[in-house]
Structure 1
Amino acid sequence: MSNQFSSFRLTGLGMLAALLSQGAAASFVENSSLTLAARNFYLDRDYKGETPYSAAREWAQGFIVRANSGFTEGTVGLGIDAIGMLGLKLDSSPDRTGTQLLSYDPVTREARDEYSELGLSLKGRISKTKLSVGTQFPALPIINASPARLLPQSFRGAYMISDDIDGLTAHLGRMDRVNLRDSTDYQPIGLASPNGRFRPGASSERFDFYGGDYRWSDSLTVRLFHAELRDIYTQDFLGLLHTLPFGEGKLKSDIRAFNSRDDGQARGGKVDNLNVGGMFSYLWGGHSLGVGYMRQFGDTAFPYIAGGEPVVLSDGTMSADFVNPKERTWAVKYDYDFSASGIPGLTGMMRYLHGNSIDLPALGGSNLTESSKDFELAYVIQSGPAKGLAFRVREAFYRNQQGAASTFRSDNETRINIDYTIKVW
């Protein structure tokens, strides 16, 4: 796979250079863009109860430069995208690393002063179909490059997106490596195994996926995807997004179902999981009030790629994922956009999740519970010299009945972000 990517890059660069030398570069340059994003991130997990260490607490500064070209003119357009990322340590200590903000030495647990990486991808376009090879940031239910730390998770592979069929956005891809959020190098794609759910260290060099979103109508979108992490698991996804006018507002339904089983050599052990969940929200004025439920069927937990989060009902929670074996999760969520009260740019969120019937005999029992209370307040400056400067504060209070060996331990968590993106051109 690596040789195939290298060959493609060399061939693509040769073709691109030839086209540019022939004067076909007008759109390539005119439709290019360059942005610089700065992110200041403070993360504090204050663990409660019996725990190997009392806290994970770090502060870091990140910079992300994205340079995206347009496409060369002609039936087949070619282009190139580049991303450079830099993370800088502002505060850390060996007794409180592990936030995934900073890369650190696994022996001394000393965080590195800085870490950086460069990603490149060649892209081609025919009509409304685009193909890129190289660094990828997919955002799909079955593979999601997590943006939840200082620098985003990325993958290496080939990814095609097509809008040629009216109403349908089709996706097709193959990834062979992943670069974790606090890492500077690519490695085989691993299976997440928090709480010892699967065989530790299971990884593969091939993740294939295909599927799409079909806009059945203005109010209904159907999502279908299939994925295979070779010799570890296969997964099918069905999703429905629907809005319905109701009274002074509208009712929004978000239903997600994942069917997962082990594949080939089953390097991660048995995988047998059906995850079904739905969030039903009513939106009116600046308000949104939602109630959700998610349940794990089958003999194992929900499988997903290591280094990120599962895109399920609990997506966005900070201290746990709520997809343990047999788990049943209720959720209540309230959002408010203060622009409805004359304060544009200010938003708030409150959420409560409660999971029960958790089956983890090695961590305390077969009818365990967990819960999380989440709060968020964010503000984006709307005008003036600092327009676009964003502030975000999040608090979570997570509790569970699992033992000290659990990956997710009871904690109070604080995250503070200050983000600013400058469009250079």
Structure 2
Amino acid sequence: MFKRAIPTLFLIATGSTCAQAADTGAHGFLEDSKATLSMRTLYFNSDNRDGSAAPSKTEETAQGFVLRYESGFTQGAVGFGLDAQALLGVTLDSGGGRHVGSGMIPSDGDGAAESWSSFGPTAKMRLAKTELRYGTLLPKLPILISNDARVLPQSFTGTQITSKDIEGLTLTSGLLEYAVGRASTDRTGLSVAGGTQDSNKFYFAGGDYEVTKAMKAQYYFAQLEDFYNQNFLGLTHILPIDGGSTITTDLRYFRTTSSGANSSAAGRAQGYRVSGYTEDNNGEIDNSTWAAMITYANGGHAVTLGHQRVSDGSNFVQPNQGNLPDKGAGGGSVYLPSDRMIQNFARAGEQTSFGQYAYDFAPLGVPGLKASIVYLKGTDIKVHNAGDQSEWERDMVLDYVIQAGTFKNVAFSLRNGQSNSDAGRDVDQSRFIINYTLSLL
């Protein structure tokens, strides 16, 4: 009961900062309005090279359109506004048994839907530097990240308060009730991987504090009712070496424990459980995960080394609706440096070491061109009645943004990943993406 009360109390505390003066820089509801149309074309090819499931290959192309409108705020001590987003996905190529598990296009019968769409408004209110939003949200927080890895983004419905009234401190809290998957038009409740039941209460609260201009500390609490409580601590620091070099340190720690129905055998039997290994093979969530990485950047070069450890109790969890009846609801991101194209290296007991090299070609006179390669190796994955398993992944990315002319800001991305895993199917995956955003207002 006490843990459940924490986010509610934080909402009240955050709201109390609104007793400050209004922002006089606002011009008006219409005067500050903005509208954009984002277009994304995505070719997705995923070849599952082993296992008994057939067919073994997904190959599809789709076009996504995201129309976003953001109003300004009405004038006065308290300002009001309205945002909205309209999403449309169109299948360009699929069929022939190739619509298998892309998480990009909804299913229609035995094949891919020709198109899908959704609409989400968001009401907002501002007082001083505190903003309340209710409706469609795209959170980018350590305890929940809206996934945008296909043609249309995952979205959530709920309430969020963000306050920046205290210099150097950003406080965020809220309650989410529903999600719309990146390959779906329908709202679902929130769940975890393996859960066949859902929840309509995801409480969260936390803050980002700039200790210095070079150091930021974070703390967040989240509760997915009937599944888990999660605490997160994070610390990032940027150390300048000279005029052109920096060392960035990034530390992350999560502690996640069962809550509500997931804490009882009866609740887990109803479907409030997590998939994968659990210590007593009962689906109960109990996990500690930490990650540390360091990045050295010099000119166009950036080299990253890191290590991550997941405890033995269960897999690392954050919201994922993949096991709910709406199959298009699946697909989620987690705030771990190991969350990559194919795997997220978050299985119980897994210890992952990784390295990445990235290069920005601007110093060579080619601005807009970037490339990177990353390799991750996970070991000690826990399995009942068997030896520990391992897996690895290699990803390569080539990005280019046109810098001038008629097609300025059109972005191209070519990605290729390969994953070999004892705990799943081996996969070769390629994606080709074209992005362009047009300003309408």
Partner of 1:9: none
CA distance in 2, matches of 1:413, 1:367: 26
Q: How far 1:158 moved relative to its partner? A: 0.3
Aligned residue in 1 for 2:211: 216
Q: Would you say the 8 A contact 1:85–1:117 is kept in 2?
A: yes
Counterpart secondary structure, 1:361? coil
Within the candidate set 281, 290, 311, 2:304 is matched to: 290
In 2, the alpha carbon distance for the partners of 1:237 and 1:341 equals 40
Q: Cα RMSD (Å) of the superposition? A: 1.3
Q: Give the distance between the partners of 1:276 and 1:294, measured in 2 at CA.
A: 6
CA–CA separation in structure 2 for the residues paired with 1:276 and 1:26: 45
User: For 1:308, which of 318, 332, 345 is the aligned residue?
Assistant: 332
Any idea what SS the aligned residue of 2:149 has? Answer: coil
- Is the CA contact (8 Å cut-off) linking 1:61 and 1:89 kept in structure 2? yes
Residue type of the alignment partner of 2:371? G
Q: How does 1:4-403 map to 2 (within 5 A)?
A: 27-53=28-54, 54-93=56-95, 95-97=97-99, 98-105=101-108, 108-193=109-194, 200-246=195-241, 249-266=245-262, 267-268=272-273, 269-306=283-320, 307-315=331-339, 317-361=340-384, 365-402=386-423
Counterpart Cα distance in 2 of 1:239 and 1:136: 23
Matches of 1:189 and 1:94 in 2, distance apart? 33
1 CA distance for matches of 2:350 and 2:27? Answer: 56
- Equivalent pairs: percent with the same residue? 36
Give 1:84's aligned amino acid.
A
- The letter for the 1-side match of 2:92 is L
Cα offset, 1:94, TM superposition: 5.8
Q: How many residues of Structure 1 are paired with residues of Structure 2 in the alignment?
A: 385
CA contact 1:296–1:328 (8 Å) conserved in 2 = yes
Partner of 2:438: 422
Deviation, structure 1 residue 26:
5.6
Report the Cα distance in structure 1 between the residues aligned to 2:380 and 2:27, rounded to whole angstroms: 61
State the 1:361 CA deviation. Answer: 3.3
For residues 376-412 of structure 1, what are the alpha-carbon distances to aligned partners after superposition, in whole Å with 9 as ceiling and x for unaligned?
Answer: 000001111111100000000110113xxx4xx2111
Which deviations, in whole Å up to 9, do the C-alpha atoms of 1:318-346 show, x marking residues without a partner? 11110001000000011111001110000
Structure 2 CA distance for aligned equivalents of residues 40 and 361 of structure 1: 42
Amino acid at match of 2:123: L
Alpha-carbon contact 1:94-1:111 (below 8 Å) kept: no
Give me the whole-angstrom Cα distance separating, in 2, the residues matched to 1:324 and 1:264: 23
Q: Counterpart of 2:360 in structure 1: which amino acid?
A: D
Give the Cα separation in 2 of the matches to 1:238 and 1:109: 44
Runs ≥4 residues deviating over 3 A: none
Q: Secondary structure at the match of 2:229?
A: strand
Q: CA deviation at 1:264?
A: 1.3
Mapped partners of 1:203, 1:284: distance in 2: 47
Deviation at 1:50, TM superposition (A): 1.9
3-state SS in 1 of match to 2:362: helix
Counterpart in the other structure of 1:412:
428
Match of 1:12 in 2: none
Report if aligned partners of 1:394, 1:415 keep a CA contact under 8 Å in 2.
Answer: yes
State the distance in 1 between where 2:152 and 2:384 align.
36
Judge conservation of contact 2:376–2:393 (CA < 8 Å) in 1: yes
C-alpha distance in 1 between matches for 2:210 and 2:106:
41
Structure 2 runs not aligned, ≥5 long: 1-25, 263-271, 274-282, 321-330
For 1:349 and 1:259, how far apart are their aligned partners in 2?
A: 31
Output the amino acid matched with 2:223. Answer: E
The AA in structure 1 aligned to 2:398 is: L
Once the two structures are TM-superposed, the CA of residue 298 in structure 1 deviates from its matched residue by 3.7
* Range with bigger deviation, 28-37 or 247-256: 247-256
In structure 1, stretches of 5+ residues that fail to align are 1-24, 194-199
Q: TM-score, normalised by structure 1?
A: 0.89
Normalising by structure 2, we get a TM-score of 0.85
- One-letter code of the match for 1:103? P
